[in-house]
Amino acid sequence: MSSSATLSLAKQLIARPSITPADEGCQQLLAERLAVLGFNLEPMIFEDTTNLWARRGQGKPVFCFAGHTDVVPPGDPTDWDTPPFEPTVKNGFLYGRGAADMKGSLAAMVVAIERFLTRNPQLPFDLAFLITSDEEGPFINGTKRVIKTLQQRDENIEWCIVGEPSSTESLADVVKNGRRGSLTGELSVLGVQGHVAYPHLASNPVHLAAAALHQLASEQWDQGNQYFPPTTFQISNLHAGTGAGNVIPGRLDVLFNFRFSTEVTAQQLQQRVTTLLEQHGLDFRLNWTFNGPPFLTEPGTLVSAVTKAVQQVCHYAPSLSTAGGTSDGRFIAPTGAQVVELGPVNATIHKTNECVKVSDLDLLAEVYESTLEHLLMQQSG
């Protein structure tokens, strides 16, 4: 199979305008390739989201490739040098929405499996694909529900590579072996609206909350550990007032987010925030959205196979990292699976003129294939 196989499939996927949660036939295209390889195909459609669970074999430990076919909106197409859904190769790069996040990874995964099975039709482990069209959206009806369905029938994943664009400067220079947890708070501090000339007849919630917000922003939540940086707190939105310059607001709304390590739980963060606000004597309302727990895959079977594969193909060792945002790995890891994220360079994801180096697509397919070879040697040896 020529090295252009990955590029060809990536182009076909990019040409489908699968803005979340639409799939636009991407999964069908992938399913047709997998069916030829003996995968059992199980579409799982939940509400507006299309998912695919494809498995080859039954009863053995499962190695799974996980990814998403949905992409973020491209914005104004005229801001792009080339149309976002017309895959274009220029100066050694493939341009198009989803090239890096993450249709390039999906193409590399399928091509890697095709090559691997040509030489290794009999395996001591099963192969699977978990593909969703809900990763860029509200993440309600995608991987989260597929995993719940699999758990209900005692179907488990042992090892999983998520194709998120993990690389920073060169392909596979960084492998994510975990992610921080994410917790969002919606805080409303209540006061009394009034005229700015008569502050004694009002109560300004901005003034009341200022010290508490400063303390929250200055707090040391934990020290982190060898895998995770310290937990961070960031205010992302702040609003009060009617827009008039002579009205004391009656309410302050604050939206904030924690990215937290394994040194603290979401429940502990919630309690500490509530206690701090109460200590400041505020009249407040606080609602929480738990976006996902932190997860960590310590060095072991999967990390070893991936590391050896990168060294073999790219001739350098990858760095392990837990930095960055959340991914669907947070729904897979709690089941006990070993999970890593490995994909293209992430410099252009979610931007206009999103692109990936064409040669990196072929290298990524080689890294995925080599990972399977090393896993096979471990399991057979």
Active site residues: 70, 135
- Nearest alpha-carbon partner for 250 in 306, 294, 207: 207
Query: Could you give the CA distance from residue 40 to residue 56 in angstroms, rounded to a whole number?
Result: 6
Residue linked to tokens 């803005």: 19
| 360 neighbors 176 (Cβ within 8 angstroms) | no
Residue 94 host element (H or E) = strand 93-95
The DSSP symbol for 335 reads G
DSSP 175-193: EE-EE-EEEEEEEEEE-B-
The Cα–Cα gap between 312 and 12 comes to 29
| Amino acid (one-letter) located at 130 | L
Task: Please give the distance of CA 171 from its chain centroid, rounded to a whole number.
Answer: 18
Backbone angle region of 236, left / alpha / beta, with phi > 0 → left and psi within -120 to 50 → alpha: alpha
Residue 328: partners with Cβ closer than 8 Å, 6 or more residues away:
66, 68, 132, 135, 139, 142, 143, 144, 162
- Reduced to 3 states, what is the DSSP secondary structure of residue 75? coil
Q: Helix H segments across 124-265?
A: 143-152, 205-218
Q: Residue 279 is which amino acid? A: Q
